[in-house]
Structure 1
Amino acid sequence: MGYANIRGYTFLLWAATLLLLAQSRRGKQPRCPSGCTCTKDNALCENVRSVPHSFPPDVVSLSFVKSGFTEIAGGGFLHTPSLQLLLFTANSFDSIDEGAFQGLPHLEYLFIENNKIESLSPHAFRGLKSLIHLSLAYNSLETLPKDIFKGMDALTKVDLRGNMFSCDCKLKWLVEWMYSTNATVDQLYCSGPPPYQGKKINDLVPQSFDCITAGKCALVCPDCCIRTDIPEMEDVYAVKHFKVKGELFVCLTRFIGDSKVMKWDGSMFTEIQTMPSRGSMVFQPLSIGNWQYAILGSDYSLTQVYQWDTKKGQLVHFQELNVQAPRAFSLMSIDNREFLLASSFKGKTQIYEHLMINLSS
């Protein structure tokens, strides 16, 4: 056999070996676990006894229904770092351990609903910096560990409905957080103690809690707080407030219809103007220096920027921004410059600079 033929066989042998290696590597890709149904980017697991440790690499949405495990253990999802949505419903576990969702830097939606959860670790949600929607609805929670949402600055929606919250001093921090967060929190109700059963937690203020005492904590004078309904304003998605020269105003966001600006007259809020909403999920007031603005985002149209007109005593149209499905607006100051960050649900986050233009020059 000639030298050229030997080289030819050697080349074929190497080619065959590389082909086998490639096939072997492809064969080692994780398959859909037993008890789960997988599509291209979604997996649904039913009646599994533990969290599987391998899924196809393209899975970004994972659901657990009627599962048999009793807890969500720490580090249980380190093997699925690409997840963007994680859902648990109708399961039997009653606790979530520390670091349960570590290793999920891209997770945006976490639904833990209709389970039997009685307790959460204070650091159960550690590391979920990209999470924008968290639901713990319809579990058996009576309280929440203090600062459990710390570091979750991207949150825009928190759903805690259907739990059995006891309105004592352990829950004071939650009321304080609800007042300071930009996230929308659905209406919650006290399940106890008996005098406050059925009261809206969203109506409470931190001063409602008398916690500097050696005796039992209790709400102070809940009926002394001024409460009023805003007439003919159903389907409000979010409420934000701002002040101008000591006067209080609120921006009410409605998805479809008219978003509204209301003014506090000392006893109730009265409507002063309306803005058309076309898929609006954020109506964010903000101030820069002596200027007061309000930005009405839109999924189906351009985002509208309004500026406060002192002479008219209301907001007037100022500018339009092209932001795809905006969900939040935030101001940032650096080197005496002001920037507006506009997050997008379907596109890229936009950054705008606030500029002062001298029209007389």
Structure 2
Amino acid sequence: MHYSLARAGLEARVLMSGGRECGGRSGGDRPAAPARVGGRQVGVAASMLLGCGSASHTRGALVLASSGGGGGGAGSGARVCSGTGSGRVARRRGPGRGPGTRHGAAEGRRRGAGAAATAAERRVPDPAERAGEAAGALPRHLQLYQGVYHLRGLILGAQDRAGRHQLPVSGTPPTPTPPRPAPTTARELFLALGPRDPDPLLNPFFSFGLLNSNSFTVIRDDAFAGLFHLEYLFIEGNKIETISRNAFRGLRDLTHLSLANNHIKALPRDVFSDLDSLIELDLRGNKFECDCKAKWLYLWLKMTNSTVSDVLCIGPPEYQEKKLNDVTSFDYECTTTDFVVHQTLPYQSVSVDTFSSKNDVYVAIAQPSMENCMVLEWDHIEMNFRSYDNITGQSIVGCKAILIDDQVFVVVAQLFGGSHIYKYDESWTKFVKFQDIEVSRISKPNDIELFQIDDEKFFVIADSSKAGLSTVYKWNSKGFYSYQSLHEWFRDTDAEFVDIDGKSHLILSSRSQVPIILQWNKSSKKFVPHSDIPNMEDVLAVKSFRMQSSLYLSLTRFIGDSRVMRWNNKQFVEVQALPSRGAMTLQPFSFKDNHYLALGSDYTFSQIYQWDKEKQLFVKFKEIYVQAPRSFTAVSTDRRDFFFASSFKGKTKIFEHIIVDLSL
């Protein structure tokens, strides 16, 4: 009587990893003798489970395959192995499971010789066997023999297993085993083949596994734990959709792995990392999503020494029906960026400026409420910004660093008490007052802009009072002196130096008129009125930036929409309008090829926009919360990028710009 794995939808089959078939020919032309139970032939698979058959010089192998095919039947009786002996296999199985001594092995060989000859004469190939062999379903050296699910438990019971599985009376079929749920994972599939306590198939000596045409969908972590010497594993024709990252952990001897003809669309990163001996990998018959999740596999295919079948893509549309190896690049598509809070400074501020000196990075922060200009230094060990020096004053609204040769100056603009210039004194390792700025010209400073024309250093202070004058100052090797007063009564809020078509310009913003553009006259070496930006009243600040060699301006408006404009070789034309009610700053900044705009609002969350190359527009990227932001400043150090968000009513925040790999 034949007992298959119908309840599990499977059958246990055992194959010799050396290529010889148990129950076939094991040496010369002499066929190996099958095992017998109660005088009946039980098939070579059962012989393997018992340690019977001509297997003394080969290693066992676990094979899990679909139902069907010929094989031996199972009878009943008290005798377990007839006509065979295998000391080697039996010793692996442990005491009490077979002839595990040298005498037992020798005795088995003597008995097996006679039984094998008899079996060779009696055995007539089954027609189904011949048809299967002719069909070539598997290579000849991988042809399988059917095992017996219930018989395995009976045989173990016959080997003094404390009476747990008793052989039935001769001629009586075994009691049917209650139905078990169909296994859904590889681990369950293995465990479905026998009793719960020590599983003789799950031992380190099995080297071949075949899990074909089943219905399980998941291979979880450590599904093959304990099979340290497994060399061949074929998991084909199933419905596998998910494979855990550590599914094949511990299979360091595995040389051949097939996952063909499943429903796999993606594999977890480094799922093959433990397969040190892998020679061949078959992924045919799966349709992979060749998106960011496949990036690691794309890179692994480029580096591995294993032979891997073609990996076909089902998507995205541009890669459909193409090979994964033909994908051009994942670099741009599989990375994005983000801004995360790196450090919070427990004080208010209105402006931030950065400078570098002797390979160190510094930041100068204006703190009007604390009457300080705080200088921070990047700490290469602690990886944060720490206090370096503190310049005191009265209602400081701006700190601007100027580097001339090896000297570092800081222009400190104050609302009261006049503005001053400080110089770093190395002997004192601090900033000391270097020069005063005329009170008569600067009454209410609002912005400081540094620039250079023909190797000469300048800075301009925009004055926002009716009584003040926006003034340009020039370096004369001994100090800075007043060089040019720009215009009166316009209440300038911002000054921006910009190079337009190779010529130097200043753009002055004012709440009382549209922004005006001044051009540097090379003859008089003065700025003269040139043009304006029409229809843009009430602009608080103008900032210039470049993308792909094109010149752009960002214009901040407190009421109405802020604007992004581009120079078209004749004038600035509008590119985009950004809703900005309550905005005090619209700051452009870039990190490598990523271009951003930070829009700070007093009424709502601040917005970070990112430039979209396809749309040629800035799109919303991230919201950040900063109370009453007044400036955003990009700072780079130690291959890390940051931007400072000053806050007039809350804490100053330092955000780090990070690269996020979407393929992880």
TM-score by length of 2: 0.28
More strand by share: 2
- TM-score of the superposition, structure 1-length normalised? 0.48
Higher Cα Rg: structure 1 or 2? 2
